[in-house]
Amino acid sequence: MRILIIEDENKTAAYLKKGLVESGFVVDTASDGNSGLLLANEYDYDVMILDVMLPGRDGWEVLSEFRRKGRNTPVLFLTARDSVQDRVKGLELGADDYLVKPFAFSELLARVRTVLRRGPVRQPDVLRIADLEVDLHAHKASRGGMKLELTPKEFSLLALLVRKCGEVLSRALIADQVWGMNFDSDTNVVDVAVRRLRTKVDDPFERKLIRTVRGVGYVIDND
Ligand code: CA
pLDDT of 188: 82
Å from CA of 14 to ligand 1 middle: 13
pLDDT of 217: 92
pLDDT tens, residue order, the chain (223 aa): 899 999 999 999 999 999 999 988 889 999 999 999 999 999 889 899 999 999 999 999 999 999 888 888 999 999 987 777 788 788 878 888 889 999 999 999 999 998 888 766 555 678 889 999 998 777 899 999 999 999 988 998 999 899 888 889 988 888 877 876 666 654 688 999 999 999 999 999 999 999 999 988 999 987 7
Spatial strand order of the sheet with 47-51 comes to 26-30, 2-6, 47-51, 75-79, 97-100
Å from CA of 9 to ligand 1 middle: 6
pTM flag (> 0.85): no
Phi-psi region of 139 (alpha: psi -120 to 50; beta: other; left: phi over 0): left
* CA distance from start to end of the chain: 40
What are the structural domains of the chain? 2-117 (3.40.50.2300), 126-220 (1.10.10.10)
Residue 200: C-alpha distances to residues 103, 108, 151, 193 (Å) = 53, 48, 11, 11
Q: Which H helix or E strand runs over 198?
A: helix 189-201
Å from CA of 32 to ligand 1 middle: 9
| Separation CA 33–CA 22 (nearest Å) | 25
Å from CA of 47 to ligand 1 middle: 18
pLDDT of 122: 52
Sign of CA dihedral 12, 15, 17, 23: negative
Which residues have beta carbons under 5 A from ligand 1 (an ion)?
8, 51, 53
Q: Are 61 and 147 in contact (CB under 8 A)?
A: no
pLDDT of 27: 93
Å from CA of 49 to ligand 1 middle: 12
